[in-house]
């Protein structure tokens, strides 16, 4: 009876959390009916729900990533508060190392895994491994395809719709007084500083930021596109090189994330340019540092990549899996909404 109550509570709590995350397309889980007595469940198919207990293995692609640092801190805090024991490991951006870490967690007998893959292309292998070990798993941040996910019924992906963040970046430029055309030559000339292009976030932000301008009937000119791998220093170097090469021609600097935008800002300031006067600069993530720069007028805007909302959703999905939920429809992705951050509303996002 006690167990049934605990299970019911876990399911109710996870549903509440998911609802509060603004997710779209919630997965069609076959949940064990919380009101049914445990005895009527097919014993073998319902794993013991720790309901606030159990060891959770968390694999992060690399600790040295500003956004994923906020995300993993949030995951740890939520899990601890709920009585779980999270163990977080650093993949050092090395898929082979992460594969070993997953195997070690499996050998240690963790109750569930939360994995931020190093390479999206490794998803098949990761999914086969966790399926072989029958471990409930939540993948985060780097989205596999629906077909890949469908291979394992105790697997959920939690992330965001990357196209939406790109569109919001384009809209931030459209919201400026001259719609990005600072020199009035009838087109918006930009550079694109891209994240790791293997990652769908980098691909879709690159595409949809510019698409938003085109959809508004604006002519665009790409002066350069360079991969900066989500990294602040690379953002600075790339932007400095582009400013040296293209000078005043650059009207907009699109960065796939805030850390690269902060780096780009350093280059912009060193070159004596002034954001929102003679150049525009946008990022994604809403890191604290970026929020400060938006407020100070040194960034045109950013997009909230809701680390806390995604962490809460990941834990909620993990609890559903621990409670016995399985997914057979292939509808295994949960999305948390992005939010546009402008100089007008930035105060709402600051702590
Ligand atoms: C993105 C985020 C980047 C980086 C990347 C790692 O969602 O915007 O800053 O953390 O994930 O995969």
Please calculate the CA angle 116-119-123 and round it to the nearest 5 degrees: 75
Asked if residue 25 is part of any domain, the answer here is no
| Residue among 64, 67, 165 to mutate when testing ligand 1 (max atoms within 8 A of CB) | 67
Co-location of 175 and 269 in the same domain: yes
Which residues fall within 8 angstroms of residue 276, CB to CB, at 6 or more apart?
Answer: 176, 297, 300
The number of folded domains in the chain is 2
Tell me which of 91, 285, 309, 338 to substitute to probe ligand 1's pocket, judged by most ligand atoms within 8 Å of the beta carbon.
285
- One domain, residues 155 and 173: no
For residues 28 and 267, what is the distance between their CA atoms, to the nearest angstrom?
47
Residue 223 Cα, ligand 1 centroid: separation in angstroms? 24
Q: Which tokens hold the place of 326?
A: 């399985």
**Do 138 and 179 sit in the same domain of this protein?**
no
Residue given tokens 């665009």 in the structure block = 220
Interacting residues of 37 by C-beta distance below 8 A, sequence separation 6+: 4
Q: Return d(Cα 33, Cα 102) in angstroms, integer.
A: 31
Flag whether 64 is in a domain: yes
257 in contact with ligand 1, CB cutoff 6 A: yes
Assess whether 299 and 170 both reside in one domain: yes
Is the same domain home to 236 and 188?
yes
Q: What domain range is 324 assigned to?
A: 55-160+307-337
- Nearest-atom index, ligand 1, CA of 256: 8
Cα 68 to ligand 1 centroid, rounded to whole Å: 7
Which atom of ligand 1 is the closest one to the Cα of 305?
8
- Predicted TM-score (pTM) of the model is 0.86
| 332, 155 Cβ separation under 8 angstroms | yes
Would 170 be classed as within a structural domain? Answer: yes
With 0-12 / 13-18 / 19 or more C-beta atoms within 10 angstroms meaning exposed / middle / buried, residue 109 is exposed
Q: How many angstroms separate the alpha carbon of residue 35 from the centre of ligand 1?
A: 40
Counting ligand 1 atoms within 8 A of each CB, the residue from 118, 139, 231, 257 with the most, and so the one to mutate, is 257
Q: Is 307 in the pocket of ligand 1 (CB under 6 A)?
A: no
Q: Are residues 273 and 311 in the same domain?
A: no
Question: 68-96: b or e for each residue (b if 16 or more CB lie within 10 Å)?
Answer: bebbbebbbebbeebebebbbbbbebebe
Residue 253 sits at φ, ψ, to 5 deg, of -110, 110
Could you tell me the sign of the dihedral formed by the alpha carbons of 305, 205, 196, 113, in that order? positive
The helix (run of H) or strand (run of E) holding residue 341 is strand 339-341
Same domain, 184 and 285: yes
Domain CATH for 155:
3.40.50.2300
* Residue 41 within a domain: no
Which of 47, 37, 51 is CA-nearest to residue 7?
A: 51
Give residue-wise pLDDT tens across range 217-245.
999 999 999 999 999 999 999 999 999 99
Give distance in angstroms: CA of 65 to centre of ligand 1. Answer: 8
CA dist., res. 204 & res. 208, Å (int): 6
Q: Residue 147 falls within a domain, yes or no?
A: yes
Ligand 1 close to Cβ of residue 194 (< 6 A) = no
Residue 171 in domain: yes
Structure-token match 């976030």, residue found: 201
Q: Is residue 92 domain-resident?
A: yes
Q: Is 171 in the pocket of ligand 1 (CB under 6 A)?
A: no
190/67 same-domain check: no
- Together in a domain, 132 and 244: no
Give the 3-state secondary structure of residue 243.
helix
Best of 60, 63, 64, 68 to mutate for ligand 1, by most ligand atoms within 8 A of CB?
A: 68
Cβ burial of 47 (10 Å; 0-12, 13-18, 19+) is middle
pLDDT beneath 50: ranges in the chain: 1-50
Asked whether residue 210 falls in the same domain as residue 128, the answer is: no
The predicted pLDDT at position 52 comes to 63
- Based on the fold, state whether residues 278 and 167 are members of the same structural domain: yes
Could you tell me the CA-to-CA distances from 18 to 28, 195, 254, 317 in Å, in that order? Answer: 13, 28, 31, 8
238 lies in some domain: yes
Query: How far apart are the CA of 47 and the centre of ligand 1, in A?
Result: 33
- pLDDT for residue 40: 27
Q: Are residues 296 and 311 in the same domain?
A: no
Task: Walk across the sheet containing 280-282 and list its strands.
Answer: 219-227, 187-194, 252-255, 280-282
Contact 230 CB / ligand 1 (< 6 Å): yes
């Amino acid at each position: 009876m006690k167990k049934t109550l605990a299970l019911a509570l876990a399911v109710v709590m996870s549903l509440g959390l998911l609802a509060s995350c603004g997710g779209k397309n919630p997965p069609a889980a076959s949940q064990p009916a919380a009101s049914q007595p445990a005895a009527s469940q097919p014993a073998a198919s319902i794993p013991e729900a720790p309901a606030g207990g159990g060891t959770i293995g968390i694999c992060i692609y690399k600790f040295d990533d500003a956004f994923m640092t906020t995300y993993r801190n949030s995951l740890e805090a939520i899990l601890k508060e709920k009585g779980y024991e999270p163990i977080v490991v650093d993949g050092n951006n090395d898929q082979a190392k992460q594969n070993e870490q997953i195997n070690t967690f499996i050998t240690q007998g963790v109750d569930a895994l939360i994995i931020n893959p190093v390479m999206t292309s490794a998803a098949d292998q990761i999914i086969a491994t966790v399926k072989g070990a029958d471990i409930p798993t939540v993948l985060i941040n780097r989205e596999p395809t629906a077909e890949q996910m469908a291979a394992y019924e105790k697997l959920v992906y939690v992330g965001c719709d990357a196209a939406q963040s790109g569109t919001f970046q384009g809209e931030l430029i459209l919201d400026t007084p001259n719609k990005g055309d600072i020199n009035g030559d009838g087109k918006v000339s930009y550079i694109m500083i891209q994240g790791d292009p293997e990652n769908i976030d980098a691909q879709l932000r690159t595409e949809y930021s510019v698409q938003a301008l085109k959809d508004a009937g604006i002519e665009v000119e790409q002066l350069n596109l360079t991969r900066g791998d989500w990294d602040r220093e690379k953002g600075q170097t790339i932007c400095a090189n582009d400013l040296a090469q293209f000078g005043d021609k650059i009207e907009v600097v699109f960065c796939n994330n805030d850390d690269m935008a902060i780096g780009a800002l350093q280059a912009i300031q060193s070159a004596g340019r002034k954001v929102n006067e003679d150049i525009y600069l946008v990022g994604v993530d809403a890191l604290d540092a970026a929020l400060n720069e938006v407020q100070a007028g040194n960034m045109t805007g950013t997009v909230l990549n809701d680390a806390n909302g995604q962490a809460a959703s990941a834990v909620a999905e993990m609890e559903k899996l621990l409670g016995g939920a399985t997914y057979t429809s292939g509808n295994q992705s949960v999305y948390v909404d992005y939010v546009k951050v402008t100089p007008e509303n930035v105060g709402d996002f600051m702590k």
